[in-house]
Amino acid sequence: MKKIGIVGATGYTGVELLRLLATHPEVEISYVTSRSNQGSRVDAMFPNLRGFIDLEFSDPSSDALAECDLVFFATPNGVAMKHVPALLEADTRVIDLAADFRIKDVDVWSKWYGMTHACPELLEEAVYGMPELNRAQVKDARLVANPGCYPTAVTLGLMPLVKNDLIDRSSIIADTKSGISGAGKQANVANLLSEAGESFKAYAVQGHRHQPEIAQTLSLLSGNPIGLTFVPHLLPIIRGIHATLYSKSTASETVDLQTLYEKAYDNEAFVDVLPAGFHPETRAVKSSNMCRIAVHKIPESDQIVVLSVIDNLVKGAAGQAVQNMNLMLGFDETTALMQPALLP
C-alpha cells in the first residue's frame, strides 16, 4: 500500500479525491490537511464519507507529508509551489491540482495568476498531466501539473484536428459551459443557489486563465501558434463541462472525421467517441472519469463542430489526478476509476 497525502482537502477537488481514493485497493490515505479545520473529522464536513474515511484534518505544515509516497495539492493557486521543492527533495512525488505548474512560460503565468512564481526552475520539469497527450512522461514524473477542467475538455476535443493539421489554426472558437462546482466551495454571493440557479450567463469574455493553458497545449501539438477565442459560461448545474468547439476545415473532402476521431482515441479508456450524429450530454459522464466526444461536419459548409463533455470534478480534476497517480505509481491506469456515470 502506498501512502498518500492530500493538502487542502476541504474543497470540492479534495472531497472528490477522497471519494475516489476511498475504494482504491493499492493506496492508503495517510494525511488529509487543512489549516482551518485541523483536529476536526473529515466526515463531519463531508457526510458522504461517513464509514469510508476515518481521519481528522491535520496541520499542513507537518513533516508527515514528506513521509508520503505521493502528495496531492488540492489547494488554491500559489500554495503548492511553496511546498513542492521540499517534498521533491524528500523523494515524495507531487500532483498539483491547481495551476502552479501548468504554464511553461513564467511571465505568462505571472500575468494571469498575479503572483511571482516561487520555484520557476521546476516549470520545465513539471509534466502536464493529461495521459492521452503524454502518458510516458507522466509515468516517470516527480511533479505533475494536473490540467484545468476547461482545458481537459477542450484539448481532448480538438487534439485530433490540431495534431493532424486539418483546421485553420488562426480562428478556433471554444464556447464552454461549466457547472458551478468549478467555482469552488468559497462563500461567494454570485454562486448562491438564489443567484446562479435558474439562470445562465457568460463570464470573463475579455480573458480567462484557461485560454493560455489551452493555447500552449494546442500550439505544442500543432508546432505553430494557435488563435483561440475562449468564452466560458456558468451552468446552473453542479457537475459537468460542455465544450462546443468551432473550427474551419482545411482538409480535403476525403478525410473522414468520424474515423479519425475513433482511431485517435481507440486505445484510450477514458475518451469515448460517440457514433456519428450523436450529441453528448453532461449527465452521461456525471461522477465518471470519461470524456465523451462527438464530431460534426456542418452540411454545405467548411465548419467543424466538436462537442466534448466531462465531469469537471473527475476527468477535469480529481479523476484525472488519480489516473496520473495510477501511472506514476505503476498501477493499472484505470484502477478505482471504472464506474459507470450516474444516470439519471
Enumerate the active-site residues. Answer: 149
> In sequence order, what are the beta bridge partners of 178?
234, 241
Q: For residue 144, which of 184, 99, 112, 182 has the smallest C-alpha distance?
A: 99
C-alpha cell recorded at residue 258:
468520424
Separation between Cα atoms, residue 312 and residue 285, nearest integer Å: 10
Task: For the CB of residue 247, give the shortest distance to a second copy in the complex, in Å.
Answer: 11
Q: For residue 79, which of 95, 100, 103, 110 has the smallest C-alpha distance?
A: 100
Task: For the CB of residue 117, give the shortest distance to a second copy in the complex, in Å.
Answer: 23
Q: Are 290 and 270 in contact (CB under 8 A)?
A: yes
Q: Nearer Cβ to a second copy, position 71 or 307?
A: 307
Separation between Cα atoms, residue 213 and residue 316, nearest integer Å: 14
Q: Nearer Cβ to a second copy, position 136 or 202?
A: 202
Q: Nearer Cβ to a second copy, position 214 or 313?
A: 313
Q: Are 232 and 204 in contact (CB under 8 A)?
A: yes
Please report, in angstroms and rounded to a whole number, the separation of the first and last CA atoms in the chain.
35
What b-and-e string marks burial along 280-318, b requiring 16 or more CB atoms within 10 Å of the CB? bebbbbbbbbbbbbbbbbeeeeeebbbbbbbbbbbbbbb
Task: For the CB of residue 145, give the shortest distance to a second copy in the complex, in Å.
Answer: 24
Q: Nearer Cβ to a second copy, position 223 or 340?
A: 340
What's the number of CA atoms in the CB half-sphere (13 Å) around residue 99?
24
Separation between Cα atoms, residue 152 and residue 291, nearest integer Å: 9
Q: Nearer Cβ to a second copy, position 30 or 181?
A: 181
